[in-house]
Structure 1
């Protein structure tokens, strides 16, 4: 993400989420429902649903659970109506925070999000107070293959991608490559990479900050961690974005 290799942070969060798998499946189930209602139950013609299914599989959601969620969303009995809501504010040390939610009750969600900010040293702000600091960006994680990095970079640029970063595990072993794209080119680049035979492990449209803030004070760091964890544990919250440089 924007000069930093943020996939490690994504993996860290996913690891924490795996410990609460039921909550993760609930969140993904909501995403499936919204995607189906917007574009239909066929992932071959519904790119948004295709992305959510890939996300579900990367979080070890069983195939039969995925299919039940799709069938439920497409059926006449699917009477839950979730809407997308984004909350903005500041965490400790002036860190900008964006919270993307899917909710069937705005009042409940707003109250819970506000409570998390207040409890952990932050302030919930008004719409637009921090969103201008972030841009939409596509992020595509490719499995490592026999293609060398230089050739892959040329291929990425030719199909409209912007950047390529090697992703390594804790033992410094290559596990894949993170491709970044402009939001408008995301699906075109993803389709081109799939057509070229590359295996996509995970992909998403995300919000990326223009600049990152370094936080050194241990007390502030702890408050930030607690705020982000509290928000991510909320069933209505789908994603939390911030400009705290966690790699410092």
Structure 2
């Protein structure tokens, strides 16, 4: 998959999410709450929380909002048991889709996910049916600007443990193992460089380009419907949105 397509997909997703920033913040707040419940409220001692905070910052979530979410987390989740559930399936023309959920009601979530797929000419598959087509990685996307020195950024990334550094036409992409993501992201932040996206994600090994306008419309509809669902935290796919 070309790096340019990756960046185009990221930008497309970010533009879509920016239009519903409140919902994105609510979902990240839920991730923060679960991370705090599982590993405590100190990001320096809780790597999962540290990664979610990085994602929150990349989504322009205000620091005071992040702090409030962390402080409120343990109290808020006292009587709520969220469960991680991952669904896998296919969109129009076989586009691979992974849906990452946090829910306290599995039946409701399953029904909603199934409905989203069927409404948009997709279908749910079994566990593992598409995940083998993705790699779990830390991914940091930075928009290319004149004030960022490419060589300097590459050295910061690689010296801090990045697996790969890609310089695209209008972006830089830094790939890490999930374990090294926090360290590399912190190094980028310390260098004063703002990322467009920074998170642990599922990176597709190849992309699928749709040629039918009807398929494209249905794929966009599937993504939108899934992302609108309060139980859905992440939607990963190999649809080339460029």
Class of the TM-score when normalised by the shorter of the 2 chains: 0.7 to 0.9
* Structure 1 residues 77 and 179, CA gap change in structure 2 (3 angstroms): closer
Long gaps (5+) in structure 1: 169-175
SS at match of 1:79: coil
Aligned to 1:149: 150
Question: 2:37 aligns to what?
Answer: 37
- Aligned match of 1:215: 210
Q: How far off is 1:192 after superposition?
A: 4.1
* 1:54-77 superposed Cα distances (whole Å, 9 cap, x missing partner): 433444444443333212212376
SS at 1:183 equivalent: coil
Question: Could you tell me how far 1:29 is from its partner in structure 2?
Answer: 1.4
Q: List per-residue Cα deviations over 1:40-87 (Å, max 9, x = no partner).
A: 112233233233234334444444433332122123763222111110
Q: Does 1:244 align with 2:239?
A: yes
Residue 149 of structure 1 deviates from its aligned partner by 1.6
Unaligned runs of 5+ in 2: none
What secondary structure, in the 3-state scheme, does the structure 2 residue paired with 1:211 have? coil
Are the aligned partners of 1:100 and 1:237 in contact in 2 as well (CA < 8 Å)? yes
- Once the two structures are superposed, the pairs formed by residues 65-76 of structure 1 within 5 Å of their partners are 65-75=65-75
CA-CA distance at 1:147 after TM superposition: 5.4
Q: In the TM superposition, what is the alpha-carbon distance from 1:166 to its structure 2 partner?
A: 4.4
2:180 match: secondary structure? helix
The residue aligned with 2:193 is: 199
User: For residues 146 and 40 of structure 2, what CA distance do their matches in structure 1 show?
Assistant: 33
* Partner of residue 133, structure 2: 133
Report the Cα offset of residue 19 of structure 1: 2.4
Name the SS for the 1:6 alignment partner: helix
TM-score of the superposition, structure 2-length normalised? 0.86
Say whether the 8 Å CA contact 2:157–2:165 is kept in structure 1: yes
Give TM-score scaled by structure 1 length. Answer: 0.84
Aligned length: 239
